[in-house]
Structure 1
């Protein structure tokens, strides 16, 4: 039965795209200001789509966010287009999220929450794309990262402020949330219930007319439903790979460089002493002296401490400086002035009086330049090679910035340029089921689909410090429907199915009425005298339905939403027919009080509650700050993105 439903929903071209709108909240919060296109301000309707207190959400904000959202969604849904995104409510959801994040920022600033420049700098330094070959922040890499995303430093900093502000202000909504056992048990009963019913299918082709569709009908249908036939954007990638061996003739470290490195790290090679210490802290000097007196009889520090309900702490091996930082300079001097096994104290400590025992003394002789020459030579050689790689990469990027092509640089490096077949945004090969781009391209597919056009070469690091790649987009085919002539037969079939769907709906409504009056669903379908799929009997637990996840057939989903004794109709996508869904009985489930599943269920319900609290908190912040939407500007943005009115 389940396979029949899945086959019934399948089609050859243009299966409708479903947006997971819940996921877009995270997307807007994470990347609503750092996207892959430039600004679009100054369009009809004004330069802002909303005012949030003294702040604003500009037209460029929402257009960049929409562009970025579509690029992200295309990774899982290659047929996603900006028109589909807008039509299915994506733009409205993004606007709500951008207003939310702006309101959170305005609320935080109003009540003194501050995100400092040093904190922002540390967040930027963590961005992998902003790091150089040595894994440290690189200004050149950072600027390339910004250019690739059509962003500026100010844009990114604003996005980080808003993201961190939201993290600080919204996180408390999770604190102390719990769900009562009674509520969990009630929900558990729903989740373990069983439903009994029936589903009849009236496929459109069983009711479609025998007379073929005319050319005029086919043309009109194609013009009105072009989005259904849209092919996803395809791009080929040209690339050439090279290793760090391309950097030749890196000079060996000189004696002066080795000596300078030794001087720079001289403290690491100097003679050192550390001591292993055990400490007991007492509240008063008198208590410390009493312990000291007992130790004089030969008892150990640990034994005496235990007899008083205390515990001596092993401080491990500490240098004089480390001990001074933990306690005080006086304590460190006393500990380092005593011999092995000696008891030091009582001494005044930050939190009372301390007794210290010197367990061992570890000394390390100093090492001169001759002793560490080999070690330093290796370090200096590695540093020079990293620097040479950085310079080499910078020269390649500079050549690209100055107009050099991929083939020019490949020829200069003695590399062969390869080109992939047409790829989709998720890296799969267009038109070849199961085929994927070469594994070494995994890191650059997303970057290639973020490029604005063809022949814009870039340099990428595939394996840190070892393998590199120069690449660009070879060919770019935008998302668009194929010419009618190529798919005329498919469109003609869809025209006939649309006529069949209308006839099937009329029949389905008559059967629905008959079943509501007490008629039998199977008998009503059989009475049509047509060759139709048999009525499917359903006897299923809700847990079986949930196990299907996103593969759940919509008629089954409807069955588990209906009230007992009801009959409902459901249209199939793309005019493929109609379902008649009848729910005959609901058998409540029972869960034992000690069922281990209750814990996971309680956790899930608590997560839903915290999400609701977070939404309420954001709503309250919006009310507090004040939000005004500019509907004219929103309409202008929508028209610009979809091309309406052009």
Structure 2
């Protein structure tokens, strides 16, 4: 329910506290591919973007945090580029979060908190990126990863320590947070609120200008809203796919090869015997013998087992070796010595003492070399082709690394290179609802990390199908030129002008209602034809359960009785004027389960509020200076501006 109240409000903690709990570098190692050596940008780390008290925030810190934030956003929006992220204010938000993080850490230091070397070691050893093949921390892997990232161990340790300072301060603040019982009951009662009133829609279309904007108006609007027209990065791929057929004709399998394989696997082709059993296992030899005596006296093995609270199991089509492996050599000896229908045992096995009934005996004839030759030939041929395909892919991979072109490799394979239409990072064909071919979906993400013109080899179907591919053309993410989207921008300009005029009309209507007019009269007083107000009756619980929340419905449940307000709904291109006439709510019993749930959610909300207030107070306790020139340098480095 508290989520319902706070639906359109974001806590100040969020990523900021995540960055405080973890080191910036720890977060990078935890959330990104350690092979991505470009994560940390190219501005020298000695430049400062801000100073918090006596602590400098380096440009490399800001770049690292921005890259981390972008990777997190890409989990929801795979086509988001750094250019779009920065254009939409992402870098500024990350800088604010960094300042909060360092403020908390400096506040902790001022209180005498410390992060010992052993505690930092514990944090480092918990990072999966630093673990070896055995799953344990590897100092060699740790140092190799640092070299790969061009990081100094002292810098990494200091970063982890900063996160630990912040964690020691922030984490205890929210423990056990509770609000008074009166708050709890009041909020719980709000769940069953029913509100009655009316709503008037003020559509932008009723006020939108009909004529075209001037070139200056359109250009100014475009410049002010460039972030809305950013196109994602597009890449064109050239590729070929190949499979086992690429190895061509191979030397024929010889009779000598067949004979050697027949000799090696002679046990496979020899005559054999398979048996099926009903098995019972008991703890002692005496108990097993008692079961055998009962069976010999006319009781079935299953009935004897049931009388002792036990059950039998069926073993089907086993050879002697299989039974030996499953039970023991003694059990197998007993099982394969008895005639069909006999009960054998007791014999000692892995789980205890075994009693077996021989249910079926099947004799399997052996196969001569002549009889097995065809199947052996197919087996050897499949192995030969698989080996040849593996050797081919290994050779191609080495040659591509040494500079061989995709065209040369395709010519050798006798394949025609395919070229895609421009693709986005999520595998879509740009500008269409279509998606790239299925085999390309597996490589398109990696293709957006590749350099242009550097071919790579990928395995599409393990051991069966492979792809050679390269990026042949890259169109960077950027705002679309105005000339190409003039009609789209013109429509948006009209919409925004209409929304601005609708906002003014909504304000006039609100004022008339406050002066004593009815909502219907206030709407009718406008110079344009507007829809008549509609009656509104909403129950908070039903609305929350339906999931059909909007800014208008949220406003309706935050208003005081007998009040009028306006709200903007951008997606619908409309303003609403909401008039609330009556609020009714049911009383709750003392033991109503809603009270418990609300108390828990209020405690969580209070915890978040305490954290947010603490972060703000810690930040205010230090002088904070921002170096705009250094921030702009990071911005240019991340977006490639000026390159």
TM-score category (smaller protein): 0.5 to 0.7
- Name the CA shift for 1:105/1:92 in 2 (closer, same or farther; >3 Å): farther
The 5 Å alignment of 1:608-627 reads: none
- Name which of 75, 86, 89 aligns with 1:83: 86
Cα distance in 1 for residues equivalent to 2:257 and 2:585: 80
- Name the CA shift for 1:574/1:294 in 2 (closer, same or farther; >3 Å): closer
Q: Which residue number in structure 2 is paired with residue 232 of structure 1?
A: 232
- Name which of 467, 474, 477 aligns with 2:475: 477
Q: Which residue number in structure 2 is paired with residue 523 of structure 1?
A: 521
Q: Which residue number in structure 1 is paired with residue 402 of structure 2?
A: 402
Q: CA RMSD in A?
A: 5.7
- Name the CA shift for 1:384/1:581 in 2 (closer, same or farther; >3 Å): farther
- Name the CA shift for 1:110/1:491 in 2 (closer, same or farther; >3 Å): closer
> Retained in 1: the 8 A contact 2:235–2:448?
yes
> Retained in 2: the 8 A contact 1:70–1:85?
no
Find the residue that maps to 2:231 and give its secondary structure.
coil
Matched, 1:384 2:384: yes
Cα distance in 2 for residues equivalent to 1:448 and 1:268: 47
Q: Which residue number in structure 2 is paired with residue 358 of structure 1?
A: 358
- Name which of 576, 592, 603 aligns with 1:579: 576
Cα distance in 2 for residues equivalent to 1:115 and 1:334: 50
Q: Which residue number in structure 2 is paired with residue 570 of structure 1?
A: 567
Point out where structure 1 has 5 or more consecutive residues left out of the alignment.
1-19, 50-56, 97-102, 121-145, 153-186, 590-604, 620-629
Q: Which residue number in structure 1 is paired with residue 447 of structure 2?
A: 448
Note the alpha carbon deviations across 1:15-71, whole angstroms, 9 max, x for none: xxxxx99xx99x99985235766242675557999xxxxxxx987865654554565
Cα distance in 1 for residues equivalent to 2:580 and 2:266: 82
> Retained in 2: the 8 A contact 1:32–1:64?
no
The 5 Å alignment of 1:277-316 reads: 277-316=277-316
Point out where structure 2 has 5 or more consecutive residues left out of the alignment.
1-13, 20-26, 50-59, 101-118, 137-144, 151-186, 587-596, 612-623
Cα distance in 2 for residues equivalent to 1:349 and 1:225: 79
Q: Which residue number in structure 2 is paired with residue 262 of structure 1?
A: 262
Find the residue that maps to 1:81 and give its secondary structure.
helix
Matched, 1:276 2:292: no
Q: How many residues align?
A: 517
> Retained in 2: the 8 A contact 1:74–1:80?
no
Cα distance in 2 for residues equivalent to 1:284 and 1:435: 69
Find the residue that maps to 1:292 and give its secondary structure.
helix
Cα distance in 1 for residues equivalent to 2:88 and 2:362: 68
- Name the CA shift for 1:488/1:639 in 2 (closer, same or farther; >3 Å): same
- Name the CA shift for 1:349/1:376 in 2 (closer, same or farther; >3 Å): closer
> Retained in 1: the 8 A contact 2:86–2:635?
no
Q: Which residue number in structure 2 is paired with residue 200 of structure 1?
A: 200
Note the alpha carbon deviations across 1:95-129, whole angstroms, 9 max, x for none: 99xxxxxx999569589xx9772469xxxxxxxxx
Matched, 1:370 2:373: no
The 5 Å alignment of 1:53-68 reads: 62=65, 65-66=68-69, 68=71
- Name the CA shift for 1:200/1:347 in 2 (closer, same or farther; >3 Å): same
Q: Which residue number in structure 2 is paired with residue 508 of structure 1?
A: 506
Note the alpha carbon deviations across 1:144-202, whole angstroms, 9 max, x for none: xx9xxx999xxxxxxxxxxxxxxxxxxxxxxxxxxxxxxxxxx9999999876544343
Find the residue that maps to 2:248 and give its secondary structure.
coil
Displacement of 1:478 in angstroms is 1.3
Cα distance in 2 for residues equivalent to 1:286 and 1:236: 77
Q: Higher Cα Rg: structure 1 or 2?
A: 2
The 5 Å alignment of 1:326-365 reads: 326-348=326-348, 353-365=353-365
Matched, 1:249 2:249: yes
Find the residue that maps to 2:509 and give its secondary structure.
helix
Mean CA deviation greater in 380-389 or 57-66: 57-66
> Retained in 2: the 8 A contact 1:559–1:581?
yes
- Name the CA shift for 1:328/1:463 in 2 (closer, same or farther; >3 Å): closer
